[in-house]
Amino acid sequence: MPGSACRIWSIVLSALLSLPHLSFSQDLNRLVSAELNSLSAFYKDLHANPELSYFEKNTSAKIAAELRSAGFEVTYPVGKYPGGKYTCYGVVAVMKNGPGPTVMVRADMDALPIEEKTGLEWASRVRMKDISGEEVGVMHACGHDMHSTTLVGTARVLSQLKSRWSGTLIMIGQTAEERGGGARALLADGLYERWPVPDYALALHVDTGVEAGKVGYCPGWAWASVDMVDITIRGVGAHGARPHQGRDPVVIAAQVINALQTIVSREINPVDPGVVTVGSIHGGSKHNIIPDEVKLQLTVRSFTEEVRQRILSSIERITLNTCRAAGVPQDRLPIISGSVEYTPGLYNDPELTASTVKALESVLGEANVVRIKPTTGGEDFSEYGRTEHKVPIFYFRVGSAEPGSDPASRPGLHSSLFKPVHEPAITAGVKAMTAAVLNLMGR
């Protein structure tokens, strides 16, 4: 190359390297790859030693220790279950770094009652008693081990990048997401009183629908509200040969189940999603006995509070009146109850989403940040944005699928075969969450 062309090229190159986003992206790549081996080992250890919701004693201790050694001031355990029935092992870690906004990053820590069948070297062989006292196999089949690892990775990287941000960073290890009570338990224990109320809250979840190395986002309503409803249909027992002497709750239950399917199809605006599923029906003991009662268990999904209330009230109206129409006596009308494991819908703040997506694109590349559809799954991260403080929240997805694999053949979340491609997912997760925080707190 002639001397002058060479000089021009080196000027162009140094100008390119001095661009703030380019050098930041390089710094970030370097920091994350330096942590990857250790984060991968941390992930495998969490994966091999999963703990069920409300039993995350060792997991939370490991996360607390990691956050402490990254320089955070750690309080642990935090969380209050109503009536103190379960211990809550929440972790709250704070790093104060001058004036500026307060940003909260949350990861969940709990595993599921599933026996792992992946055959991985680091597969779980753990069995433990669940809250009902029954012994079950335990597996991180929802990737919360990945979320906790990403939290630790983000904490380590941001503590090394302290000169680039200003404000208060709060890292949360959350108990019992799978039972829908962990976020409420932390809030009930004064999360927004004992520590600064965040100006923004961020979280992520692995996604088998997105390839590892990519992230997905959905502005606005992204996750559904989840209600569990229990119904006891009470009839009047009789001999199976003489049904006219009783009021048959099995026949009434069948009518109720069919009638409930008209709520979404006939009562809800077709452009508003809703789901009513009767997942369990139990009643009776023998061919020739008309039982006294039949029990139903339902899951209800919706996005807006208006649709949710409409579905819940219609379930009550239809069930009550179907029983009345069958001639059930007044004192044997059905018992209908909601569950404490209610999870509200998750609304990604559109402004926060748009600005974070730009930050994610700058570190991962535009092609690796994909828009995805809402899901009727539930996620209690929504709770952090629903207090009187109206904290804007953003929850994105981190791809965990083998690139190029057939989506139909991938074991999904909550499957005993769920097997995320962990290193690219951890790398993308830490880079994305770090960029998301710096977007809000960067100097």
188 neighbors 80 (Cβ within 8 angstroms): yes
Phi, psi of 400 (to 5 degrees): -130, 5
Please choose, out of 5-13, 142-150, 258-266, 353-361, the segment that lies near Zn ion by the rule CB under 5 A. Answer: 142-150
Report the residue number, 226 or 268, with the smaller CB distance to Zn ion: 226
Alpha helices in 19-139 (DSSP H): 20-48, 57-69
Q: CB of residue 154 vs Zn ion: minimum separation in angstroms?
A: 18
Distance CA(147)–CA(429), nearest Å, equals: 8
Quick check: bond before 77 cis, omega within 30?
Answer: yes
Pairwise CA distance, residues 412 & 432, whole Å: 22
CB under 5 A: which stretch of 135-143, 215-223, 225-233, 294-302 binds Zn ion?
135-143
- Residue closer to Zn ion by CB (options 203, 359) is 203
Stretch that binds Zn ion, among 41-49, 140-148, 159-167, 433-441 (CB under 5 A): 140-148
Nearest approach in angstroms of CB 369 to Zn ion is: 21
CB of 195 to Zn ion, least distance (A): 24
Compute the least distance from the CB of residue 384 to Zn ion, in Å: 15
Q: How far is the CB of 116 from Zn ion (least distance, A)?
A: 15
User: With respect to Zn ion, which residue has the nearer C-beta, 158 or 215?
Assistant: 215
CB of 372 to Zn ion, least distance (A): 15
Least distance in Å: CB of 371 to Zn ion?
A: 21
- How many of the chain's residues bind Zn ion (CB under 5 A)? 1
Phi, psi of 170 (to 5 degrees): -120, 125
Nearest residue (CB) to Zn ion, 93 versus 142: 142
Q: What SS3 class is residue 433?
A: helix
- Contact segment (CB under 5 A) with Zn ion among 139-147, 245-253, 276-284, 333-341 equals 139-147
Total count of residues recorded for the chain: 443
- 64: tokens are 């607390």
Interface stretch with Zn ion, choices 69-77, 137-145, 236-244, 266-274 (CB under 5 A): 137-145
Span of 134-142, 214-222, 335-343, 433-441 interacting with Zn ion by CB under 5 A: 134-142
Burial degree of 48 (CB within 10 A; 0-12, 13-18, 19+): middle
**Cβ 84 to Zn ion shortest distance, Å:** 25
Site string for Zn ion, 328-367 (x = CB under 5 A): ----------------------------------------
Rg of the chain's alpha carbons, rounded to an integer? 25
Q: 142 or 437, CB closer to Zn ion? A: 142
Choice between 114 and 142, CB closer to Zn ion: 142
In the region spanning residues 48 to 67, those forming contacts with Zn ion, defined by CB under 5 A, are: none
Classify each residue of 99-129 as buried b or exposed e, where b means 16 or more C-beta atoms within 10 Å of its C-beta: ebbbbbbbbbbbbbbbebbbeeebbbebeee
Closer of 142 and 401 to Zn ion (Cβ):
142
Segment lying near Zn ion (by CB under 5 A), choices 62-70, 118-126, 138-146, 182-190: 138-146
Across the chain, which distance is largest between two alpha carbons, in Å?
106
- Tell me whether residue 77 or residue 182 sits nearer to Zn ion (CB atom): 182
Give the integer Cα–Cα distance in Å for 174 and 181.
10
**By CB under 5 A, residue 204 contacts Zn ion:** no
Pick the binder of Zn ion from 111, 142, 233, 264 (CB under 5 A).
Answer: 142
Q: At closest approach, how far in Å is the CB of 112 from Zn ion?
A: 7
Question: Which residues have CB under 8 Å from 295's CB, separation 6+?
Answer: 230, 231, 232, 233, 280, 281, 282, 283
Q: What is the 3-state secondary structure (H, E, C) of 234-254?
A: ECECEECCCHHHCECHHHHHH
Closer to Zn ion by CB, 144 or 156: give it.
144
Place of tokens 């409930």: 260
Question: Quick one: 173 or 291, whose CB is closer to Zn ion?
Answer: 173
Q: Coil, strand, or helix at residue 170? A: strand
Alpha carbon 4 to chain centroid, angstroms? 57
Residue nearest Zn ion (C-beta atom)? 142
Q: Which residues would be at the binding site for Zn ion (CB under 5 A)?
A: 142
